[in-house]
Amino acid sequence: MLYDQLIAGLDTVHNTDGISGERLAERFDALSEIGLTEDNGSNRPGFSKEEKAAKELIATWMREAGLDVSEDGAGNIFGRMAGKQDDLPAVVSGSHVDSVPNGGHFDGVLGVLAALEVAQAWKQTGYQPEKPYEVAVFTDEEGARFNGGLLGSEAVAGKGDVQEKLKLIDQDGMTFTEVLADVGLTVDGYTAAERDADEIEMLVEVHIEQGKRLEQQNLPCGIVTGIAGPCWMEFTFTGEAGHAGNTPMTDRKDALAAAGAFAAEVPKLPKTVSDSAVATIGKLDVHPNGVNVIPGSVTLYVDIRDIYAETRDALVDKVLDLAEQTAASHQIKVEHVEKMRVAPVPIDEEKQELLAASFREKNIEPYRLPSGAGHDAMIIGDKWPVAMLFTRSKDGISHNPDEWSDLNDCVQTVHVLKDFLEKVQQ
């Protein structure tokens, strides 16, 4: 059982101010049973009956914490605690409970349970926030159903083209409309899920790091400085296919040789624009792809990210220039197509400083790090201010049954979140 694994190392010194490590472990365990795979992983695709069952279980816990529960037309769940000044915009915290196929038990779930644990602690200690507080469970963050994701938070923020979504078809041949209907939702309801700007003050999302920086620093949690916006570029290098034996080395237009030279140089470019920029070539197609044939064309994809739009776009330009220079030096052609460009979401310094104060309050060194992955906060952050906390991930493993965050790290993150949420009430 996940509970036994989690609780084994719990230091009960962290069970203070109404926060319970045992309760967190029990809830992690209960959610892990929904969509449990043979590899002891999670399989709860967005808009699935498994995701819905997980959200329904969380809704019962919300009610136990004294929250008023509602579901919007996108299937997002909100548990609301009234504020002393209940007409003020709400402070929201939460994440998602859907998963990739055979994923882990912490991705998304931690953010939901952390936000809920704060509400539970407030109820237990008799604390009422000045402003309304909402615990959010966003639908389909991972995008396993339609290879897209973030559909719940897009509905809340009023983002995305619904007409484009109507063209979506999942792996079982079901349309977006049919998938919604399968869990009791409608397209009209999805469109109506948008929240007015004045309803929300900010979102605070807790998430596992999905990297090794906190582990390397030996810290339980950290402050996210921004969420990187990806730009995906498709490049096609075109030379001339030829016989591997009969074509002299001096008379070749080898597309793969050019693409290889390009791929070798791309990783050197990010550090020339910022410390947080990254570039990855993760997919490559060679044609004709024969053992004894000089490659005539190669198509590859470059994933370029940074937490600042200016430096991310500067890196895109550098990659484009490199492609042209490489093609010219190999006397072949190169073409590119921009497949996606999403705006990064930098987190403002004031919120980072307020989080840092909460870290110091809990005797944790404030450590700042960027998020290279996308999250619901990235979508929400285009409309409302956001802040984000990362919890240490063992070996940086994510989207895998071996995904793991120590319960003590999770509980300490909840303490920081609670302190921060109380600070923003002032």
pLDDT beyond 80 at 366: yes
d(CA 48, CA 30): 18
pLDDT at 147 over 80: no
Residues above pLDDT 70, as percent of the chain: 100
Place of tokens 């030279």: 261
Residue 364 has pLDDT above 90, yes or no: yes
Q: How far apart are CA 27 and CA 105, in angstroms?
A: 11
pLDDT in tens, 236-258: 999 999 999 999 999 999 999 99
Instruction: Please check if 375 is assigned to a binding site.
Output: no
DSSP annotation of 198 reads G
Of the candidates 388, 394, 423, the residue with the CA atom closest to the CA atom of residue 408? 394
Q: What mean pLDDT value characterizes the chain?
A: 96
Q: pLDDT tens-digit profile of 17-59?
A: 999 999 999 999 999 999 999 999 999 999 999 999 999 999 9
Measured in whole angstroms, the distance separating CA 347 from the mean position of its chain's CA atoms is 15
Tokens (6 digits) for 371? 């998020």
Domains identified in the chain and CATH numbers: 2-227+344-423 (3.40.630.10), 229-341 (3.30.70.360)
The verdict on whether residue 17 carries a ligand-binding annotation is: no
User: Annotated binding residue at 14?
Assistant: no
Counting residues of the chain whose pLDDT is more than 90, the rounded percentage is: 94
Is it the case that residue 164 has pLDDT exceeding 80?
yes
The encoded tokens of residue 3 equal 């509970």
Average pLDDT, stretch 176-205? 97
DSSP string, 249-299: GGG---HHHHHHHHHHHGGGSGGGT-SS-EEEEEEEEEES--TTEE--EEE
What pLDDT is stored for residue 76 in this prediction?
A: 98
Q: Within a 10 A sphere around the Cβ of 409, how many other Cβ atoms?
A: 23
pTM given for the model: 0.88
Confidence of residue 72 (pLDDT cuts 50, 70, 90): very high
389 with 222: CB under 8 angstroms? yes
The residue with tokens 């490590």 is 21
What is the number of alpha carbons within 13 Å of residue 297 lying toward its C-beta? 10
| Backbone torsions φ then ψ of 24, nearest 5 degrees | -60, -45
- Residue 89's identity, in one-letter code, is P
Local structure of 109: helix, strand or coil = helix
